[in-house]
């Protein structure tokens, strides 16, 4: 195996750093895209909201009828 | 060397351009913001009543309005769950705007200034959330 010069080592390290950077960027971007797409979290959040709405509507109805 | 430095930027641009923002996700977030604002209005009203800042009659009247607003908010939320991109915006938003105006009208007279201020702040936040949703849908 040929001996690597200091410049070769530096370029090799930079190449790997670039690859790691691209990998991290890709992972972050895909994760953000998945979050933007919102599946399946959106459906779960909207379903939870529906349950809270139902409880709050009942509470408001009781208050509107003079029940506190 | 410069090409290596530019590579991550190119990756970002390509990936970001490829995914965009999902309209249904935008609407789902809008529904959550509208709900949070409405819930805050209800909580503020209840806190003011518990603190003795509004009368039982005012409490009843405000809750009659809140029943309407919360029901419309819930119907909007249900419509969002079934909504697909390309469909018209759920019509409940326009009705919800009307119900908020009714609450604003209720607050116009007979309420202490600080009560009116607190409740109008939450109503305005809900109104803003609705307008943001309508603007996003129109653009």
pLDDT digits (tens, 9 = 90+) for A39-56: 678 889 999 999 999 999
CA B106, CA B127: separation in Å to the nearest integer? 16
Task: Give mean pLDDT, residues B126-132.
Answer: 87
User: What residues in A contact B15, CB-CB < 8 Å?
Assistant: 25-26, 29-30, 33
CA A27, CA A21: separation in Å to the nearest integer? 10
Res. B14: pLDDT tops 60: no
Contact state of B70 with A56 under an 8 Å Cβ cutoff:
yes
The pLDDT tens digits of the residues spanning B91-127 come to 888 899 999 999 999 999 899 999 999 999 999 999 9
| Domain of residue A37, residue span | 32-68
Answer whether residue A67 is part of any domain: yes
Answer whether residue B3 is part of any domain: no
Question: Based on the structure, what is the number of domains in chain A?
Answer: 1
CA of A10, closest CA in chain B: separation in Å?
11
Taking the mean position of all CA atoms in its chain, how far away is CA A56? Answer: 29
Q: What is the pLDDT of residue B10?
A: 45
| Domain of residue B108, residue span | 22-138
* Residues found in chain A: 68
Whether the CB-CB separation of B119 and B48 falls below 8 Å is answered with yes
Answer whether residue B12 is part of any domain: no
Question: Based on the structure, what is the number of domains in chain B?
Answer: 1
Q: Which residues contact B83 (CB under 8 A, 6 or more apart)?
A: B24, B27, B90
Query: Does the CB of A55 have a partner CB in chain B at under 8 Å?
Result: no
Task: Please choose, from the candidates B77, B119, B79, B75, the residue with its C-alpha nearest in 3D space to the C-alpha of residue B100.
Answer: B119
Give me the interface pTM, i.e. the ipTM.
0.82
Mean pLDDT lowest for which of A1-5, B26-30, B73-77, B124-128? A1-5
Answer whether residue A7 is part of any domain: no
Higher per-residue pLDDT: B119 or B139: B119
Measured over the CA atoms of residue B81, residue B83, residue B89 and residue B94, the dihedral's sign is negative
The pLDDT tens digits of the residues spanning B30-75 come to 899 999 999 999 999 999 999 999 999 999 999 999 999 999 999 9
User: What residues in B contact A29, CB-CB < 8 Å?
Assistant: 11-12, 15-16, 19
| pTM to 2 decimal places | 0.72
Q: Residue with structure tokens 């009781």? A: A62
The nearest alpha carbon in chain A to B3 belongs to A18
């Amino acid at each position: 195996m040929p001996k690597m010069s200091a410049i070769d080592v530096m370029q090799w390290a930079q190449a790997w750093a670039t690859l790691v950077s691209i990998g991290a960027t890709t992972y972050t971007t895909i994760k953000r895209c998945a979050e933007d797409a919102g599946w399946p979290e959106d459906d779960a959040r909207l379903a939870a909201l529906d349950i809270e709405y139902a409880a709050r509507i009942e509470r408001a109805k009781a208050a509107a009828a003079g029940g506190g | 060397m410069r090409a290596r430095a530019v590579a991550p930027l190119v990756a970002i641009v390509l990936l970001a351009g490829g995914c965009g923002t999902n309209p249904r996700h935008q609407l789902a977030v809008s529904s959550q913001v509208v709900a949070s604002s409405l819930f805050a209005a209800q909580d503020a009203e209840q806190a003011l009543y518990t603190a003795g800042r509004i009368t039982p009659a005012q409490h009843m009247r405000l809750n009659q309005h809140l029943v309407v607003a919360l029901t419309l908010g819930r119907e909007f939320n249900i419509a969002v769950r079934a909504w697909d991109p390309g469909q018209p915006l759920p019509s409940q938003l326009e009705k919800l705007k009307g119900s908020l105006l009714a609450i604003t009208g209720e607050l116009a007279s007979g309420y202490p200034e600080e009560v009116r201020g607190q409740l109008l702040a939450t109503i305005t936040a809900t109104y803003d959330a609705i307008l943001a949703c309508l603007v996003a849908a129109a653009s």
